[in-house]
Each structure stands twice: as C-alpha cells, then as structure tokens.
Amino acid sequence: MHEEFSAFLASNGVDKTLWDSKKVNKSSDVDELLDEFSDLVWDAVLEKARYIENISANHLFLFKCLDQEIKLIAIEVSNAEIDLREQSGFEWFKKHYNSDYINYKRASKAYSKTKNEDKFELIEKGGVITKGALYDWFEDLLDLSSE
C-alpha cells in the first residue's frame, strides 16, 4: 500500500518533503488525506467483494453480491445446544445439514443504496468478506434438492 499511498499523495500535489512537514506540524491536512485515502481503499475492496458471510450462534447468512442485486442464503439451526461460531457446532452442522433442525431460506433484493454502501452495511453488522465457498456449496445443494 506504500506505493499506492505515495501515488495518492502525488496526485494531490504532496511530495515526501511536504508530507513529512505536514506530519511534524500536525496539519489538519494529514487527517483529511488519510481519510480520503482510506475511503479509496475501502471502495476498491468493496468493489471486488463478491461474497459476505455473517455467522451467529444459530444462523448463517451467506450473501452473494451481483451487479444488480444481493442474493441471500439464510440458514437457521434450531438446536439450542449448537453454536455455529464454535468448531464443534460447525462440525455438528456439517454432519446434520439435511436434518429437521436446519431451515433454509433464499432471497434476493436490489441494492437499496449503492453496491458499496450496502456491502459496507453488511460488514458493519458483522459480515466478513469471503471467497464464497459456503455460499456456492449451499447454492448447489439447494438447487439439487429442488429438482
């Protein structure tokens, strides 16, 4: 990120000498430039994010972020003894994913704000950007079971 930050500063007319001076003098420009760069980094990360997962004790919320909409696979475990955040709970879930204790729902919705704002909101609520292995596995499983 060092190179990207240097290029960002240069595009804002700030060379190394000026940047060092702003840091030493605690210029308000430092915070503004850091905030602006942080926003750019977040936008780039969010733009690339395609899958987001949010796991609680008894729910899995698996999101797939497409161009026009977000798809959701929601999974609820109704066995109160199971905590999906723990290794043992997740192991139980993997063995019993097709039992009466597991409920699946699917939904999709158009973005309510911008794609990145909606993705960021999911992350603020505890979501984590992933590569989508769980989403893809359950999507295939649910598609097969509906045939």
pLDDT digit string, tens, across residues 21-66:
888 887 788 888 888 888 888 899 999 999 999 999 999 999 999 9
Evaluate if residue 80 carries a pLDDT over 60.
yes
Residue found under tokens 């936008």? 43
Residue 65 contacts residue 115 (beta carbons within 8 Å) = yes
| DSSP assignment letter at 44 | H
**pLDDT single digits (tens) 104-146:** 999 999 999 899 999 999 999 999 999 999 999 999 988 866 5
Whole-structure pTM value? 0.81
> CA 143 to CA 147: how far, in whole Å?
7
Write the burial class of residue 26 (CB in 10 Å: 0-12 exposed, 13-18 middle, 19+ buried).
Answer: exposed
> CA 25 to CA 35: how far, in whole Å?
18
